[in-house]
């Protein structure tokens, strides 16, 4: 039995940081060895620094760990980063520069040309962009990112359609859970019995990330996917799980059974490699007329599968459907963890 | 001072029936003179028959009224109908046949060729279809309908754009309040912390009603509007107010100020005629980045105005925006009441 | 390896019936062999008859089972009953009469003198009342009940205090989850953003059941516990988990550490017998200032433990605290299942 | 027509500050002339400084006012204070010292011996404590406070019972709305589908304020009411309106009709003086089995009346009932405003 790889968590006290701790608790390959958060938390034990919001108990071992300063000194090589974009823009390059493998959930570097934005089932080959990073050449460090929580479920549903039929146009309207805004995040006075039709920068992220994820590697960068994409983002009074109403136009005429079959049959590299966090089936089609629903379907595949339903013709584009995925598991910590597993499987973490 | 016109309410115990009673309580032209509901309620006093769900008190006078059987005998000539579609299909023609002016909120007759589907600000001239109805010729009775609660806010926002710039394509995704499903309607176990991506027949209604409303009178029928329309309907944990994310393509290139101005300047016949329930401004544009929101904006214009916000370019069609309207006032009882006021102003209720 | 005992479920399509199916799916001793529901469902496959509201998938094997009529013919001997009180009052005696072991979650027979009302950790010896039942003598059949969902968490918290310090007075105010009302149960229009300060017959049940559960066997009946008890019951917008604010007066002066220790040390027969559904610790004291909370603590001990917190002095009685338990697991299906396991362990199911 | 009295608002940007602005908009006696908030807001126009959360529009005139520093220089004499306790403890004495009439909603000075804690219907004579304040003698300034939002509805319901029958014991369990915690206040992740059984310092405030309010003036202080009082406080997912389950013991044996009559007949000085914000009836008894409910009854009497229901015998004390009042109107801004009106009527604001 091999020793586990020690990993660190940057931004360990936030909602996504807490998810990392929860998901890593029993992980076969990785173990939490280092936690960092804002200055306010430095030097305190994690249990004192955190307002634990997961439904499982805070692991004893982690509870007693002392929160380190957010600098590369003393940090392990493998770093999961769960930072706000502004701070990430400053800290992530510093860790990559220092030789760390920065596996980030932040938006800071996602659209940088030489930084891979990866969903292992969708574009695992983008990970090779690492070799183009200056950090890599200097110190061996690098940065890999996963997409925004609103983009990832959509792209899982789009990927098999893009592969088999080609995408021409995609329009998505989201109804996003409050946990996507972190903690304390959305005030209860703002969301009880309400819908907020605005999430800052979310629509821009969805549009550009979706096209990068479904794009082609092209030398030291990515040529974005050749389809048009429009997003509208809303916040609703749901705890976990982003629901999206999608319309799309495909390049080929297609029958609905073919689309459902493309989703149901979809398997990819993480499934072949049997990565520990890979869901058996990345996309699950539900035939009930009123599914997926966040309260019932967010946890499908341990929160790592996208649930799709309601495929029907669209009288403007070709097809309409609903997609749902868990925003802090598949949409954040679980996404980064699967990226880490892919990196490990491909030798990048040695 | 003129005597008020006595009116009856079919389906008086449901949520929309209750709204009729609430809105008619102080009405300058109409007074509630007759209430009918299902057999179960017949012969009981209204206060015993109803589970009153309005936030204002049940008017004393109405509380004591006895619920009549749902037949035209003894009913006043002007009837507000708030029935489920199946029952409406049977009862509404019976009342029209018997000489009543049936002002209906139900979907039963909306798409019938010679039945006007009317929003007084949008297509008041459709009301002349009444003259083509067989009932009218026989007994003087007729039926007029208002649209589905999910169509009406959208069409208020679309009408000035259709008039000034021409619509080519409309795509709408709704997030609809639970009161739209009546009482008891949506079970709390189904909607707490949840989104339900399905409302039976709602998408079909939105698509066809929107095109009829924005269509042209053509002999004894309506030629539907010349644009493509697609709808997706979701239920959310909101009490009152349907929120919709809309994308559209116009026939003319247009600047955003022109669109906002078209909304802000929009006035129509009900405003000219100063109909009692007409909002001063049927469409109100909110400039805040995160509005409209159902909890704050549903009651705008006493629940009779549509609130619009977030106009911005769409990277697939031309423009995106959010529209909100109160689903049981402007989207149901208030809509029918405004229709009745228009009919009165035009001499149809004499 | 021994064959599993076949069991039937009466009222299999309701929320509690669904919980039985979920909890029995992997049960080491029992297997679902027979399902009955209302006439409407008879003869249909279970998957067609049910509106499945559990978050886990409906087991394949159960999905295909055909729903039987609700009569003892062809039913297995062990019957879990999840019926509404009115129907239970008629059907449960009929099954007991026919020789069945009726393990009921309904209130119909709970307060009948010779019917045991049992929480295995609290009053396992009450089960011997079975021997006083006429059914038992005639056909071998009998009936055993578990308490109301609002009483069970409270009584788990009270039992160790009654044993060690003696109860003099108990006052409880509940904030109960909507799943306690079944499906469709509470209308969303009634509970979104609201509190309903009334649940029919709930306060009476809590008061009398608590005293029977903590009473002493006395010949062919139970002498109720010697303490005064008052309950007030409210419904809140929570999915699962009843929260209760409790004040009590004990017979002996006691220090808070002693009370906490009584809870923490509490173990009973189900723990000794290692019954499959018995939680390792029936009562768990949480030291955080703001716990227990339904969203975080309802699932503690697989939904079978009561969580207690906030022990502090009361300026009227002696002590105040909050108790929480899962209302459809420990408060319904799980309670009945634990009763069945106790019956099996004591030879009553042979 | 007399000129209105100019008033200032300390803490004008918070939820209670916003309520003051809303309630003062059309006030016959007072007009908002000065707004102060934290340093961050100073010098900005109010519309820029505030996140307006009221459902009515921000009055134009107030929107344009510039936020002043929170010092007495340039402030009007009459000051409504809506500050957090820590800041209030520092600022309120400073304003009173400078000659201002400080009408405070904060807890800072409530329990200070010479500061009146007043509900005008309950203990208007306590206002004379003003004369014992050192500030009054020095500069003419003084401070008057209103109770905590959880105490005020309860005390309105208790006052007529104390007067007619005498209170011996009171136990109350609250279910409090999120608006009581201000903005942003309670995080949505903490309260969606949840109950939080803890509000810092709330139980202590309820217990001691209730006894001071129902106490007797005794020289330069108040002798607290002679009854025992215990409170337990919970937060629930309700926007506005604190609901409380109350049990009490009276000094005299009483029939339920007498209690209901005591509530229904209750009128007091504000009603006699016809103070503008005084509700016609301070306590309203609802006979429906399931009322009061926050969503339907919080706004009763423009949010200034307490609604009571469910009077029934208690098997431990004498009686149980439910009381509800609006926490940011009668429980905060409206309470202070009514205090101001009483002060004005009694000549203290000249």
Q: What secondary structure does DSSP assign to B242-258, as a single string?
A: EEEEEEEEESS---HHH
Kindly tell me if the per-residue pLDDT of C1 is higher than 70: no
- Distance spanning both ends of chain A, measured CA to CA: 17
CB of A37 closer than 8 Å to CB of A70: yes
CB of C103 closer than 8 Å to CB of C60: no
Q: Is the dihedral of CA C84, C85, C90, C92 positive or negative?
A: positive
In a domain, C206, yes or no: yes
pLDDT at C350: 86
Picking from B247, C36, C210, the residue whose alpha carbon sits closest to that of residue A228 is B247
Kindly tell me if the per-residue pLDDT of D143 is higher than 70: yes
Catalytic residue numbers of B read 149, 242
Please enumerate residues of D whose Cβ is less than 8 A from a Cβ of C: 169-171, 173, 175, 192-198, 207, 228-230, 232, 234, 236-239, 243, 245, 247, 289-296, 309-310, 314-317, 320, 322
Q: What does the pLDDT look like over B123-143, one tens digit per residue?
A: 999 999 999 999 999 999 999
Kindly tell me if the per-residue pLDDT of A225 is higher than 90: yes
CATH code of residue A305: 3.30.360.10
Same structural domain for residues D55 and D202?
A: no
Same structural domain for residues D210 and D241?
A: yes
Can you tell me the distance from the alpha carbon of B222 to that of B218, in angstroms, rounded to the nearest whole number? Answer: 5
Can you tell me the distance from the alpha carbon of C232 to that of D307, in angstroms, rounded to the nearest whole number? Answer: 17
Q: Answer yes or no: do D296 and B193 touch at CB < 8 A.
A: no
Q: What does the pLDDT look like over D165-190, one tens digit per residue?
A: 999 999 999 999 999 999 999 999 99
Same structural domain for residues B162 and B244?
A: yes
Same structural domain for residues C206 and C140?
A: no
Can you tell me the distance from the alpha carbon of C47 to that of C58, in angstroms, rounded to the nearest whole number? Answer: 8
Kindly tell me if the per-residue pLDDT of D272 is higher than 90: yes
Angle between helices A202-213 and A149-164 (to 10 degrees): 30
CB of B124 closer than 8 Å to CB of B342: yes
Mean pLDDT of A193-208: 98
Cα dist from D332 to D21, D86, D344, whole Å: 13, 17, 19
Mean pLDDT of C217-231: 95
The pLDDT > 70 percentage for chain B reads 100
Same structural domain for residues C269 and C120?
A: no
Same structural domain for residues C114 and C261?
A: no
pLDDT at C82: 97
Can you tell me the distance from the alpha carbon of C178 to that of C181, in angstroms, rounded to the nearest whole number? Answer: 6
In a domain, A287, yes or no: yes
Mean pLDDT of B40-49: 96
Cα dist from A148 to A12, A333, B179, B278, whole Å: 18, 11, 33, 44
The answer to whether the peptide bond before residue B184 is cis (omega within 30 degrees of 0) is: yes
Residues 6+ apart with CB under 8 A from D294: C193, C194, C195, D177, D238, D239, D240, D241, D242, D243, D324
Same structural domain for residues C94 and C242?
A: no
Q: Answer yes or no: do B55 and D193 touch at CB < 8 A.
A: no
**Tokens 């997926």, located at residue:** A292
The pLDDT > 90 percentage for chain A reads 97
pLDDT category at A242 given cuts 50, 70, 90 is very high
- Residue A168 three-state SS: strand
Task: Tokens for D120, please give them.
Answer: 């005008």
Q: Answer yes or no: do A299 and C55 touch at CB < 8 A.
A: yes
Q: How far is A231 from chain B (nearest CA, A)?
A: 8
Please enumerate residues of A whose Cβ is less than 8 A from a Cβ of B: 169-171, 173, 175, 192-198, 207, 228-230, 232, 234, 236-239, 243, 245, 247, 289-296, 309-310, 314-317, 320, 322
Mean pLDDT of C322-328: 97
**Tokens 């989703």, located at residue:** A263
Task: Tokens for A269, please give them.
Answer: 């590299």
Range of the domain at B131: 5-148+333-345
Q: Answer yes or no: do D237 and A53 touch at CB < 8 A.
A: no
In a domain, A350, yes or no: no
pLDDT at C206: 98
CB of B235 closer than 8 Å to CB of B181: yes
Among the listed residues D100, D149, D233, D326, the single catalytic one is: D149
Can you tell me the distance from the alpha carbon of B156 to that of B118, in angstroms, rounded to the nearest whole number? Answer: 11
- Residue B37 three-state SS: coil
Q: What does the pLDDT look like over B261-276, one tens digit per residue?
A: 999 999 999 999 999 9
In a domain, D350, yes or no: no
Same structural domain for residues B167 and B305?
A: yes
pLDDT category at A1 given cuts 50, 70, 90 is low
Can you tell me the distance from the alpha carbon of B200 to that of B82, in angstroms, rounded to the nearest whole number? Answer: 18
Nearest CA in chain D to B47: D288
CATH code of residue C103: 3.40.50.720
Nearest CA in chain A to C296: A55
Same structural domain for residues D160 and D109?
A: no
Kindly tell me if the per-residue pLDDT of B1 is higher than 80: no
Catalytic residue numbers of A read 149, 242
Q: What does the pLDDT look like over B283-326, one tens digit per residue?
A: 999 999 999 999 999 999 999 999 999 999 999 999 999 999 99
In a domain, C350, yes or no: no
Same structural domain for residues B289 and B308?
A: yes
Kindly tell me if the per-residue pLDDT of B31 is higher than 90: yes
Please enumerate residues of D whose Cβ is less than 8 A from a Cβ of A: 15, 53, 178-179, 183-193, 237-239
Q: Answer yes or no: do D184 and A179 touch at CB < 8 A.
A: no
Around Cβ D74, how many Cβ atoms within 10 Å?
10
Q: How many CB pairs under 8 A join A and C?
A: 11
pLDDT at A2: 76
pLDDT at D133: 97
Picking from A288, A267, A289, the residue whose alpha carbon sits closest to that of residue A279 is A267
- Distance spanning both ends of chain D, measured CA to CA: 17
pLDDT category at A23 given cuts 50, 70, 90 is very high
By the 10 Å C-beta count (0-12 exposed, 13-18 middle, 19+ buried), C23 is classed as buried
Same structural domain for residues D132 and D264?
A: no
CB of B212 closer than 8 Å to CB of B298: no
In a domain, D99, yes or no: yes
Mean pLDDT of A297-311: 97
From its phi and psi, is residue B193 left (phi > 0), alpha (psi between -120 and 50) or beta? left
pLDDT category at C183 given cuts 50, 70, 90 is very high
Q: What secondary structure does DSSP assign to C284-297, as a single string?
A: EEE-STT---HHHH
Please enumerate residues of C whose Cβ is less than 8 A from a Cβ of B: 15, 53, 178-179, 183-193, 237-239
Tell me the chain B residues in contact with residue C184 when contact means C-beta distances shorter than 8 Å. 184, 187, 189-190
pLDDT at A219: 87
Can you tell me the distance from the alpha carbon of B126 to that of B306, in angstroms, rounded to the nearest whole number? Answer: 21
Mean pLDDT of D57-61: 93
Tell me the chain C residues in contact with residue A299 when contact means C-beta distances shorter than 8 Å. 55
ipTM for this model: 0.96
Mean pLDDT of D67-81: 97
Residues 6+ apart with CB under 8 A from C52: C18, C58
Same structural domain for residues C160 and C263?
A: yes
Residues 6+ apart with CB under 8 A from C155: C119, C122, C147, C209, C210, C213, C214
Tally of structural domains, chain A: 2
Q: State the DSSP H helix or E strand holding residue D15, giving kind and residue range, or none if neither.
A: helix D15-24
Q: Where is average pLDDT lowest: A49-58, B246-255, D156-165? A: A49-58
The 8-class DSSP code of residue A318 comes to S
Q: What does the pLDDT look like over C125-157, one tens digit per residue?
A: 999 999 999 999 999 999 999 999 999 999 999
Tell me the chain B residues in contact with residue A290 when contact means C-beta distances shorter than 8 Å. 196-198
The mean pLDDT of chain B is 97
pLDDT category at D1 given cuts 50, 70, 90 is low
In a domain, C138, yes or no: yes
pTM exceeding 0.90:
yes
Can you tell me the distance from the alpha carbon of D104 to that of A222, in angstroms, rounded to the nearest whole number? Answer: 62
Mean pLDDT of A77-101: 97
Active site residue D100: no
Picking from C335, C24, C299, C18, the residue whose alpha carbon sits closest to that of residue C183 is C18
Q: Answer yes or no: do D55 and B193 touch at CB < 8 A.
A: no
Q: Answer yes or no: do C193 and B239 touch at CB < 8 A.
A: yes
The mean pLDDT of chain D is 97
Mean pLDDT of B247-265: 98
pLDDT at A350: 86
pLDDT at C31: 97
Mean pLDDT of C21-41: 96
- Residue D135 three-state SS: helix
In a domain, B53, yes or no: yes
Q: What does the pLDDT look like over A320-341, one tens digit per residue?
A: 999 999 999 999 999 999 999 9
Can you tell me the distance from the alpha carbon of A90 to that of A94, in angstroms, rounded to the nearest whole number? Answer: 7
């Amino acid at each position: 039995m091999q020793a586990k790889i020690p990993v660190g968590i940057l931004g360990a006290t936030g909602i996504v940081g807490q998810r990392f701790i929860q998901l890593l608790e029993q992980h076969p390959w990785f173990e939490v060895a280092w936690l960092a958060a804002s200055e306010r938390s430095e030097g305190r034990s994690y249990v004192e620094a955190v307002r634990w919001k997961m439904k499982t108990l805070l692991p004893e071992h982690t509870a007693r760990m002392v929160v380190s300063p957010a600098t590369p000194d003393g940090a392990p090589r493998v770093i999961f980063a769960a930072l706000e974009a502004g701070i990430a823009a400053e800290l992530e390059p510093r860790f990559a520069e220092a030789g760390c493998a920065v596996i980030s959930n932040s938006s800071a570097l996602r659209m940088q040309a030489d930084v891979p934005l990866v969903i292992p089932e969708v574009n695992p080959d983008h990970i090779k962009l690492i070799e183009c990073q200056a950090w890599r050449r200097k110190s061996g460090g690098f940065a890999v990112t996963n997409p925004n929580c609103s983009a990832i479920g959509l792209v899982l549903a789009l990927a098999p359609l893009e592969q088999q039929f080609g995408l021409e146009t995609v329009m998505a309207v989201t109804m996003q859970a409050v946990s996507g805004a972190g903690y304390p995040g959305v005030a209860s006075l703002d969301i009880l019995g309400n819908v907020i039709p605005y999430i800052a920068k979310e629509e821009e992220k969805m549009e550009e990330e979706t096209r990068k994820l479904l794009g082609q590697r092209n030398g030291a960068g990515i040529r974005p996917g050749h389809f048009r994409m429009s997003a509208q983002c809303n916040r609703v009074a749901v705890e976990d799980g982003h629901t999206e109403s999608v319309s799309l136009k495909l390049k080929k005429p297609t029958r609905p059974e073919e689309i459902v079959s493309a989703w149901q049959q979809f398997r990819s590299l993480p499934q072949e490699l049997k990565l520990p966090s890979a869901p058996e089936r990345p996309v699950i089609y539900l035939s009930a007329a009123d599914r997926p629903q966040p309260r019932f379907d967010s946890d499908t595949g341990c929160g790592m599968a996208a649930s799709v339903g309601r495929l029907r013709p669209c009288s403007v584009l070709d097809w309409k459907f609903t997609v749902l995925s868990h925003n802090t598991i598949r949409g954040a910590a679980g996404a980064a963890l699967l990226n880490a597993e892919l990196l490990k499987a491909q030798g990048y973490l040695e």
